[in-house]
A = this chain, B = another copy of it.
Amino acid sequence: MSKSFNISIIGSGNVAWHLAQELEKQGHTIREVFSRNLAHAEELAAQLYCAQAQNHLDFTKSEARIFFIAVSDAAIEQIARHIQLPAKAILAHTSGSQSLEKLTAAPTQKTGVFYPLQTFSKGKPVKFKEIPICIESEDPKTEQQLLAVAETLSDNIALVDSEARKVLHVAAVFACNFTNHMLGIAQEILEEQEMDFDLLKPLIKETVNKSLRIGPKNAQTGPAKRGDLTTLDAHMEYLQGREDWLRIYKLISEHIMNEI
């Protein structure tokens, strides 16, 4: 049987929103929700069983023993510096791009990272069981406690230190941010000619599914992959009026060709 914990959540954004509710769903108790804006804290607390909303960082009287910082990356260090915790409390941030060191100023040695590797939107339910949760701590007991919490949420848990998390973040920029930007350019190319981006959506879905199923290297298609210079030339001629798109088209096509 899995253990249940008393937990407080620092933050009220997308990650805080989903994490707090999922933790309660798995039997844990959320004691406090912090936001600088009390109304935001209250909004999330209203979704929970008995959580108190607060807009100050004094948790010395909290019954919670685990504190998750789920705020914007830039605010993590300030929170760690100013938070007041009960004795022996664990403090973990939930960011993929921030090192464990950002918690150095915290009033506890029991620090860690508890990073659910997913993008969250408030209105959209997520399947936590499938989300990888990346855990890091230099204190073995803290690591063990964070693993115990993670195991109640997900089937997919990994110990990932700050250095590896940075690699993961660089990879995610390519796989997610840049991928999204490619979709954005495609949409603009179509809308410039008053064509509907919807036409491409079934193809995009299947392309990504296939890429994840058989691996991107096996799934690569297109004129650059085929070395089809006639089509590449025709496309570059079409893109003449947009130097920025043309440069991206050339650079990525060349990169694909050089990998053949």
Contact = CB atoms under 8 A, between A and B. Distances in A.
Q: Which range holds the interface residue count of chain A?
A: 35 or more
Contacts of A158: 199
A181 B220 contact: yes
A251 B255 contact: no
A82 interface: no
If over half of A's interface residues share one DSSP class (helix, strand or loop), that class is named, otherwise mixed; here it is helix
B208 A179 contact: yes
Contact of A195 (B118, B164, B203, B216): B164
A114 B199 CA distance: 15
A156 B203 CA distance: 13
A119 B183 contact: no
A178 B251 CA distance: 10
A168 B246 CA distance: 16
Contacts of A215: 187, 197
A25 to B, nearest CB: 18
Nearest to A173: B222
Interface in A210-253: 210-212, 215-217, 219-225, 228, 231, 234-235, 238-239, 244-245, 247-249, 251-252
Contacts of A221: 119, 176-177, 180
Interface of A: 73, 97, 117-119, 121, 124, 126, 130-132, 134, 156, 158, 164, 166-187, 189-190, 193, 195, 197, 199-208, 210-212, 215-217, 219-225, 228, 231, 234-235, 238-239, 244-245, 247-249, 251-252, 255-256, 258-259
